[in-house]
Structure 1
Amino acid sequence: MHWLREALLVAGAATVAALLTALEGRAAIDVPLAVFSAGVSLPLLLRRALPLTAATSSAVIALAGMAQLHRWEGMLVTMVLFCTAVYHRPRRPGLVLAVSTCWVAGTGVVIGGAVPALTTMVIMSVAPVATGYALRLHRDRAEQTLRLRRAEAERVLAEERTWLARNVHDSVGHHLTAIRLQAAAARRAPGDASARRTLETISDLSLSALTEVRDLLRTLNEHPAALQPGIADLERLAGRLSAAGRTITLHRSGTGGVLPPAVDHTAYRVVQEALTNVVRHSNATAVTVRLRQHGRGLRIEVLDNGAPAQAPQVEGHGIRGMRERVLLLDGTLSAGPAETGGWRVLAELPCERNAW
């Protein structure tokens, strides 16, 4: 299939060269025209393996054709080959330019007996080389961007697994510590009723720990796409973290367009971490989550009505993790006591820089 495609390319280039020459003044396509058109196009087969050799061979045949036919459009094929020579040759583009310049000068001597004008030199020699060089730079930049995206995806996946492992550690450690304290209290309880209540508390804490561990491990076993939730999953998150004495309300406003994947996922993680901190460390009975999407990005605010707390001297893992996620997208995040009481998390995520 590959060789068939290459053969069709050579045949097409030769046909175009011959037809253009015939349309420019020749009465018909004769044998010399067909032979030279095929000859100048055959080096296309070597444009990837031996790019400069293919361009030079086509240039020599083009000069011979100009000497024989005097008016011939096969030079267009040679110009394309010099363009591909720079594209496929990663080093020393100056050598390709030098060979191309010599070929154009030789063409002028064959046609008119003198070196062609500067405009002709630029169009036939410099332009193909510059075009090939620009295309190669674009290709290299695209490949580098793809590698960076793959590395970022791998980093995010590793970060998600680290986050899950940290949550398993925190959840199990907290609940087992509480179980140990309750068990110690049970040994010192004077009556059966108190011991019964203590054992019931132990049972509840154990069930809570097992449920959290199972949920986290289930997420690890799911398809990797499940590790990338977005703001569409916030309703389910709010419902899962709501309780009888705690209400979580979600408000959305703004344009409502489709968010870039990185912004969508980061927004979910910021809200998730903020709500988790409320559940673990606050006595808040009402939590409000506001998402406002505008032309430049997404604004996230998580505000609770818990008792005013003094900001810690050192940020915990949760706030530090949120800040790192937001900074990766060139966003901003602030977390601290609100003026109206409680705790407030505010994040700004730009969309334009992260639309990939």
Structure 2
Amino acid sequence: MADGLLTLVLLFIGIGGTAPAGEGQDRPVTGLTYVLVVIVALSLLARRRWPLVTLAVATAGTSLYLVLEYPYGPILLAFMVASYSAARHLPLKPAGVAAGVAVAVLSLHTAVDRDIAGLVPGAAWVVVPFAVGVTARLSREAAARTRDDLARQYADEERLRVAQEVHDVVGHGLSAINMQAEIALHLLGKRPEQAEAALTAISRTSREALDELRVTLALVRRTREGETRAATAGLARLDDLVARMSETGVPVKVEVSGEPPDLPAAVDLAAYRVVQESLTNVLRHAGAATATVRLAYLPREVSVEVVDTGRGAAGPPGGGHGLVGMRERIAALGGDFTAGPAEGGGFRVYARVPLP
């Protein structure tokens, strides 16, 4: 569509402007003059699909036009567009070779006229639009590379985010299941009725973990950038989390201060994940311990603190993936995160998230 419109404009300019140019330069204008003007202009219809063919036709037509000593006129505009198109749509090497050939062919009229000074403006009709076309092509390629880099960056961030969500959901569920399975094995021979209760808890925990994982992955597939992708979890489900931990033999006490506001989904999810991962670490690494979860709601921030009475370690040196994931979640929301041994023993995790 755009090429057709451009061709029509150049045809209009060429047909309407060639005769005045001939009168001003005292040069002949015949029927063949207009035929060449039309041919060169029509060649631009293929300038995107076949830019080399377009440049060849435009060069041959314009060179014949000048050799016949027709007036310098609008036909040169069409030729310059053909030169630009070759540089814009062809790789640099073949475009450069084609431009060199076009300069040589276009210079034939200077030999006929014995006007060597005409070589410079003749070369400029090729070199200037060629340089503009190369610049446009390089800019387009740079923009494409930038888009590709952004797409790869987004894909990497999405993979990391999905991995973090799966780690939080599956890690907590499997830790609880593992603890309950050990309890069931220990009680199976001595107290089978209690072992049955532990197996029932395993069934319920595994089902809940699978349901949460399934919904989380479904939301990940459906949502786009900027949306909360794991809205299945939040502080509203804290009681269920505490109940699951209690079933594994880790007593959890919850203390809440302030009036719970309507938290943004991202803040609600991050706070829940901090509590979940912290309690999972208690289950994995603290040994026989109790845990206390403190939630503080202030007008401009919400804070989460999880303190246990265990051995004071939260996994391998460096904190493992769980602490790293919590720190990244909180940092992404502009908050503060600390984790380390608590005063008097045990381990303490603290996160503060500002509210918008």
Distance in 2 (alpha carbons) for counterparts of 1:9 and 1:34:
18
SS in 2 for 1:342: strand
Distance in 2 (alpha carbons) for counterparts of 1:44 and 1:240:
66
Give the equivalent residue in structure 2 for 1:114.
116
Give the equivalent residue in structure 1 for 2:349.
343
Aligned partners of 1:323 and 1:332 also within 8 Å: no
Distance in 1 (alpha carbons) for counterparts of 2:41 and 2:56:
12
Match of 1:245 among 251, 254, 263: 254
Deviation at 1:127, TM superposition (A): 2.1
Change over 3 Å in CA distance of 1:34–1:199 after alignment to 2: same
Structure 2 residue 319 is the aligned partner of structure 1 residue 315: yes
SS in 2 for 1:245: strand
Residue type at the aligned position of 1:343: V
Structure 2 residue 147 is the aligned partner of structure 1 residue 139: no
Change over 3 Å in CA distance of 1:179–1:339 after alignment to 2: closer
Deviations 1:219-270 (A, max 9, x none): 33457124867469779623334668255967989xxxxxxxxxx98x9986
Give the equivalent residue in structure 2 for 1:220.
217
Distance in 1 (alpha carbons) for counterparts of 2:183 and 2:341:
35
Distance in 2 (alpha carbons) for counterparts of 1:108 and 1:301:
81
Aligned partners of 2:307 and 2:348 also within 8 Å: yes
How high is the TM-score relative to the length of structure 2? 0.66
Give the RMSD, CA atoms, in angstroms.
4.9
How high is the TM-score relative to the length of structure 1? 0.66
**1:77-116 → structure 2 map (5 Å cutoff):** 77-92=78-93, 93-102=95-104, 105-106=107-108, 113-116=115-118
Q: Which has the larger radius of gyration?
A: 2
Deviations 1:267-305 (A, max 9, x none): 998666534323433634224699x9xxxxxxx996425
Give the equivalent residue in structure 2 for 1:286.
294
Structure 2 residue 61 is the aligned partner of structure 1 residue 55: no
SS in 2 for 1:336: strand
Aligned partners of 1:305 and 1:343 also within 8 Å: yes
**1:1-356 → structure 2 map (5 Å cutoff):** 9-22=6-19, 31-66=31-66, 67-92=68-93, 93-102=95-104, 105-106=107-108, 113-116=115-118, 120=121, 123-156=124-157, 158-159=159-160, 162-163=163-164, 166-167=167-168, 169-187=170-188, 199-200=196-197, 202-222=199-219, 224-226=221-223, 230=227, 237-241=234-238, 245=254, 247=256, 273-281=273-281, 283-287=291-295, 303-304=304-305, 306-307=307-308, 309=312, 313-321=317-325, 335-337=338-340, 342-344=348-350
SS in 1 for 2:307: coil
Worse overlay, 60-69 or 242-251: 242-251
Change over 3 Å in CA distance of 1:211–1:60 after alignment to 2: same
Deviations 1:69-122 (A, max 9, x none): 32311111111111111122114143244235435655666789232486x468
Aligned partners of 2:107 and 2:119 also within 8 Å: no
Distance in 1 (alpha carbons) for counterparts of 2:63 and 2:117:
14
Change over 3 Å in CA distance of 1:337–1:105 after alignment to 2: farther
Change over 3 Å in CA distance of 1:234–1:72 after alignment to 2: same
Report the count of equivalent residues.
319
Change over 3 Å in CA distance of 1:152–1:333 after alignment to 2: farther
Distance in 2 (alpha carbons) for counterparts of 1:109 and 1:332:
76
Gaps of 5+ in 1: 254-263, 293-299, 348-356
Distance in 2 (alpha carbons) for counterparts of 1:124 and 1:268:
64
